[in-house]
Amino acid sequence: MVENDIEIRNATSADGERIAGLLRAQLHEHAIDTPADAIRSAVEGMLADERRGFILVATRASIVVGVAYVAFTWTLEHGGQSSWLEELYVMPAARNHGIGATLVAAVLDRATAAGCAAVDLEVDTTHTRAAHLYARAGFTAHARARWVKTLRRSD
């Protein structure tokens, strides 16, 4: 998919280091302390098995400037295969050019083509720009809070 001067494509193993770097930056912006090796391992694992989900990259002039990391899930709530848009990140210098919206549209197209019943995601309650991006794409907020218990740490 090419829109304006932005190309959205499936990530390849050759993109792995760049993707891991962008995702490290994303997690750092949200004060999430995931070790670099764990991020790299997750990216490699996703790229190695398409049954797990997919990673899309946004490129401008052949340079990766954005990424969407999407995991497949099997849920009762949605009645089967769904997807979790775990991370969507656009480099700060490339923001405000529609790259995020183009990535979201590509995620929805790809998830639909994969037979997903829904795409779930979370937005930090203070991140109003992201909330507006997803609302414009037709997402609605739940009145629930996400909870987590870490079972293992990959340090």
pLDDT per position as a tens digit, 117-132? 999 999 988 889 999 9
Output the CA–CA distances (angstroms, integers) from residue 54 to 24, 30, 112, 154, in the order listed.
18, 22, 13, 22
Q: What is the pLDDT of residues 28-75, one digit of tens each?
A: 998 999 999 999 999 999 999 999 999 999 999 889 999 999 999 999
Q: Is 58 exposed, middle or buried (0-12, 13-18, 19+ CB in 10 A)?
A: buried
CA distance 154 to 134: 30
> Which SS3 state, helix, strand or coil, does residue 147 take?
coil
Q: Does the global pTM surpass 0.95?
A: no
| Other Cβ atoms within 10 Å of 154 Cβ, number | 11
Which of 70, 80, 74, 47 is closest to 121 using CA atoms? 70
Q: Where are the domains of the chain?
A: 2-136
CATH superfamily of 2-136: Gcn5-related N-acetyltransferase (GNAT) (3.40.630.30)
Residue 4's pLDDT band (cuts 50, 70, 90): low
